Amino acid sequence: MSLSINASDQSALRLKEFADGNETFQQTYFKKHETQLLNLVKEGQHPRALFIGCSDSRVIPDLIVQSNPGDLFVIRNVGNFVAPYKPDEDFHSTAAGIEYAVGVLKVSEIIICGHSHCGAIEALYAASCETSMIHTAKWLTLGEKAKSMALLALGSSTPKAELLRATEHLSIITQIENLLTYPYVKKLVEEDKLFIHGWYYDIETGGIEYYDPDSYQFRPLSELGD
């Protein structure tokens, strides 16, 4: 089988910015932190947390929490969704990442981070999904419970922006519920060996809120531990 890749001059020009960026990275950040980065090669990774976030290009996990290489094991997908546990031998990329982070890397924290102005959440309220996008349409059903909860709580006459923000927050909670359907996750949570956190990143302010299960509210992350 032959594989044809478009390597036109125009395409190469568009990617040159990334190439220049990599060269800058090698000469600045990598050189400055070379010892630390090479230690991660020698000693392997021991991340403190599994971060499940959205693929949205405006949400960059390491940037928004200023973490270092090796701190976060990151899974990103459309909508930061977690499909319920399904013990079959089909392909499950998010589930495989969760399994590896918990079973092999032994992370002690899992963060599910949603964000404002999420395209996946907005798509839930669209009239229809492009019929050719069969995988996207199926994946978006993972947000339907949050949409139903938002409509029930606020009513369909609520301004769309308010409905979207509520659905984004509620989706984080429903994805946590889905995560707890994984037997090995639930077991470790019940043994206080694994802790799950729901975060909401506001792309307009840069701030993060966390879900407080005691008050059933999202509170500023800066208040955590107060």
Residues 134-187 pLDDT 10s: 999 999 999 999 999 999 999 999 999 999 999 999 999 999 999 999 999 999
Considering the candidates 9, 88, 115, 165, report the single residue annotated as catalytic. 115
Q: Is the pLDDT of residue 5 over 70?
A: no
Considering the candidates 113, 118, 165, 169, report the single residue annotated as catalytic. 118
Token code pair at residue 16? 């040159």
Residue 8 pLDDT class (50, 70, 90 cuts): low
Arithmetic mean of pLDDT over the chain: 94
Considering the candidates 14, 46, 58, 219, report the single residue annotated as catalytic. 58
Strand pairing category for 208-212 and 195-201: antiparallel
The pLDDT tens digits for 29-80 are 999 999 999 999 999 999 999 999 999 999 999 999 999 999 999 999 999 9
In the annotation, is 129 catalytic?
A: no
Task: Determine the distance from the C-alpha atom of residue 161 to the mean position of all C-alpha atoms in its chain, rounded to a whole number.
Answer: 22
Residue 10 pLDDT class (50, 70, 90 cuts): confident
Considering the candidates 54, 113, 165, 169, report the single residue annotated as catalytic. 54
Q: Is the pLDDT of residue 2 over 70?
A: no
The pLDDT tens digits for 189-212 are 999 999 999 999 999 999 999 999
Q: Is the pLDDT of residue 4 over 70?
A: no
In the chain, domain spans? 9-43, 45-223
Cα 21 to Cα 50: distance, rounded to the nearest angstrom: 27
CB neighbours (10 Å) of residue 53? 23
Average pLDDT of span 75-89: 96
In the annotation, is 33 catalytic?
A: no
Token code pair at residue 38? 């090479």
In the annotation, is 56 catalytic?
A: yes
pLDDT at 44: 97
Residue 186 DSSP class: H
pLDDT at 226: 66
In the annotation, is 90 catalytic?
A: no
Superfamily per CATH, domain 45-223: Carbonic anhydrase (3.40.1050.10)
pLDDT at 6: 57
Token code pair at residue 98? 């969760």
pLDDT at 221: 96
Average pLDDT of span 77-90: 96
In the annotation, is 115 catalytic?
A: yes
CB neighbours (10 Å) of residue 78? 18
pLDDT at 13: 79
Cα 93 to Cα 89: distance, rounded to the nearest angstrom: 12
Considering the candidates 56, 113, 165, 169, report the single residue annotated as catalytic. 56
